[in-house]
């Protein structure tokens, strides 16, 4: 009995334990739809979108198409050289676009939780919440 217990303990020491937290799924190469901008959930008509490809990000901002350079290193995520086309839209669409682009400019990190992407500012406050866009 003692040998069996010793053998079981020895084998348990060789067991592979899973990492404490599995790496998050990638956020690049998929389309994201904004659900919330700095706490606002009423995004009016067509919500902003985000797509990251390598070091570029782009999408729809609420009225115009937008584009940016993106830097991602682990959870750190930042956008720079952000621009947009210059069409004029309804006031609600322009309000959402301004809020979205303001938040993109101050993004400092992001975390993916399943089909959700949460973006934070440098202070750790949630500024954007997005979900995966599914196309039929």
**How many CB atoms within 10 Å of residue 103?**
21
Q: Of 46, 50, 60, 15, nearest to 29 (Cα)? A: 50
> Would you give per-residue pLDDT tens digits along the chain (136 residues)?
444 434 443 444 443 333 333 345 789 999 999 999 887 777 777 899 999 999 999 999 999 999 999 999 999 999 999 999 999 999 999 999 999 999 999 999 999 999 999 999 999 999 999 999 986 5
pTM of the model: 0.79
- The token pair that represents 132 in the structure block: 């995966």
**124 secondary structure, DSSP code:** S
Class of domain 27-132 as given by CATH: mainly beta
Task: Please report, for residues 13, 94, 106, the alpha-carbon distance to residue 38 in angstroms, rounded to integers and kept in the order given.
Answer: 48, 15, 11
């Amino acid at each position: 009995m003692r040998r069996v217990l010793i053998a079981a303990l020895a084998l348990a020491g060789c067991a592979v334990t899973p990492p404490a937290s599995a790496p998050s799924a990638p956020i690049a190469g998929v389309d994201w739809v904004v659900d919330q901008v700095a706490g606002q959930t009423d995004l009016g008509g067509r919500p902003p979108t985000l797509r990251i490809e390598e070091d570029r990000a782009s999408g729809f901002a609420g009225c115009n198409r937008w584009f940016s350079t993106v830097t991602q290193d682990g959870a750190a995520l930042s956008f720079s050289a952000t621009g947009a086309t210059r069409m004029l839209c309804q006031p609600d669409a322009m309000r959402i676009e301004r809020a979205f682009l303001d938040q993109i400019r101050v993004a400092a990190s992001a975390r993916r939780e399943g089909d959700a992407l949460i973006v934070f500012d440098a202070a750790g406050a949630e500024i954007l919440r997005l979900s995966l866009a599914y196309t039929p």
